[in-house]
Amino acid sequence: MVAQSWLPLQGRTLPLGQWGLWVSVNEVPLGVHPFIWEKLADNAILNQLRNDGEINDDLQQAVRQGRFRRMSLAELLADQED
């Protein structure tokens, strides 16, 4: 299933917390997808995203050129709680 529209979020102030996207057909609820908004420590990553959630052209080019240090999955997940 693909929605015919999307929710642009750029430039909007979003409250922190949980919200859900409800899917219904003929007013019969079929499911809900929960979302949780969290405050990020640094918006540097958000500045690299386009409205559709994809990375912007500058970051795509940096990825193609290999300008990032390789990192193992263990390193990536090291600071996460169990």
- How many whole angstroms separate alpha carbon 45 and alpha carbon 52? 14
Q: Average the pLDDT over 1-14 and give the result.
A: 68
Task: Tell me if 50 is assigned to some domain.
Answer: yes
* Beta bridge mates, 24: 29
Task: Tell me if 22 is assigned to some domain.
Answer: yes
User: Residue type at 63?
Assistant: V
Model pLDDT, residue 28: 93
Task: Tell me if 80 is assigned to some domain.
Answer: no
Task: Tell me if 35 is assigned to some domain.
Answer: yes
Task: Tell me if 74 is assigned to some domain.
Answer: no
Is the pLDDT score of 65 beyond 80? yes
Task: Tell me if 79 is assigned to some domain.
Answer: no
Q: How many domains does the chain have?
A: 1
Task: Tell me if 8 is assigned to some domain.
Answer: no
Model pLDDT, residue 30: 92
> pLDDT digit string (tens) for 8-62?
766 777 667 788 888 899 999 899 988 887 766 566 677 777 777 788 888 888 8
Range of the domain at 44: 17-68
- How many whole angstroms separate alpha carbon 56 and alpha carbon 6? 18
